[in-house]
Structure 1
């Protein structure tokens, strides 16, 4: 049975964890998001979110986006390899519908799996 919880062990919490991802990550992008990813030598993926006030002005909208991304990650975590992910918003997406966010995120999760697999096979 697949565990769909989103506990502390699945989050990037400290500045050091975020800094580690920012050093030599691989990058996947969509029109709405950029995700930086780096292998973490764990059996599960971890997620960190950065949504700048400059990009999404209202806290209500930033929180809605964070909540949506966390939930989507929670539902797809079992498909992802052991990587640390930092998701960044590209522009003002406060008026974007949830179904569009979902489409973009699902494409990004698939890209991460493909790119991580390619990098792992190239390293061998």
Structure 2
């Protein structure tokens, strides 16, 4: 497996995985995105993405957003703690350019890493 791949083991696959994160989540929030995380027992982070049709109307926009989130996660996964992560899209997310979304995700990954480190030590 290459260093920066996004294989099946790095994904949240079942509704149970998602519900588990929602129950006791550590949030990292912006006006367009909410990232929720919960520590897992694995040696790597896992990602789930939800972008509702109600929030982002056009399928091509939802697909673009999910593609960018996956790419950002793939590039930043080694800096992230061992957590299950759910990225939730909010209204207005489709107005961001690819560059703005990538920058926003970079900030939120850092914020999330910091908060997860605090919650483990505290």
| TM bracket, shorter-chain basis | over 0.9
Q: Which residue of 1 aligns with 2:88?
A: 88
What are structure 2's unaligned runs of at least 5 residues? none
Which region of structure 1 is more displaced relative to structure 2, 89-98 or 10-19? 89-98
CA distance in 2, matches of 1:5, 1:73: 10
Instruction: Write the mapping of 1:1-124 to structure 2, written as runs, cut at 5 A.
Output: 3-122=3-122
CA distance in 2, matches of 1:6, 1:109: 16
Give a deviation string over 1:24-55, Cα, whole Å, max 9, x none: 11111012100111001211110000000001
What are structure 1's unaligned runs of at least 5 residues? none
Which aligned runs of 4 or more in structure 1 are off by greater than 3 angstroms? none
Size of the aligned set, in residue pairs, is: 121
CA distance in 2, matches of 1:28, 1:95: 20
* Alignment TM-score, normalising by the size of structure 1: 0.94
RMSD across aligned positions (CA) = 1.0
Native 8 Å contact 2:33 2:93 kept in 1: no
